[in-house]
Amino acid sequence: MKKRTIKHIMTTDVETVSPVSTVKAAADRMSTLNLSVLPVCQDRKIVGLVSDREMTVHIAAVGRDSGTTLVKDIMRTQIATLPQDDDLKAAERLMKAMESHWVFVTDADRNLVGILSLGKIARTDNEKAAGDVVKNISRSRKRVG
């Protein structure tokens, strides 16, 4: 059986944001495109990610100005990345280990070439594997109520 690699199901049309963009600009872009996350790239290299969660925790919750705060000041730098020729099992393992809904996919020069979401795995490859990742992430989060 042929090995299913990440590049077979990843999304290649990936929107990115610069680390020196304002959080407001990133939020506007996310809203317009209906995205919950944007990879932060500098010279095609991924250096972090910004999600609606970072915006809530670092901007809205503490009253910072999204028009003057830069993405680099709130972005998450521990991100899940894998080469495009890796297999889907590696992506699932990394998502579990890093408690991430996304794996950012790179080429041989470590340039961003795609994104693989947990939802994409569930829709195109393996619902059970996606469910196991979600269960692992949910167990590790503190209960809020």
Whether residue 120 is contained in a domain is answered as: yes
How many C-beta atoms lie closer than 10 Å to residue 89's C-beta?
13
The answer to whether 14 and 33 are in contact (CB under 8 A) is: no
Whether residue 98 is contained in a domain is answered as: yes
Give the Å distances, CA to CA, from 102 to 66, 76, 129, 141.
Answer: 24, 13, 14, 17
Whether residue 44 is contained in a domain is answered as: yes
| Total domains, the chain | 1
- What CATH number has the domain bearing residue 64? 3.10.580.10
Supply the pTM of this predicted model.
Answer: 0.82
Whether residue 41 is contained in a domain is answered as: yes
Q: Determine the residue type at 123.
A: R
pLDDT of the chain along its 145 residues, tens only? 556 789 989 999 999 999 999 999 999 999 999 999 999 999 989 999 999 999 999 898 888 999 999 999 999 999 999 999 999 889 988 988 998 889 999 998 889 999 998 888 877 765 555 565 555 555 555 443 3
Structural domain span for residue 127: 6-140
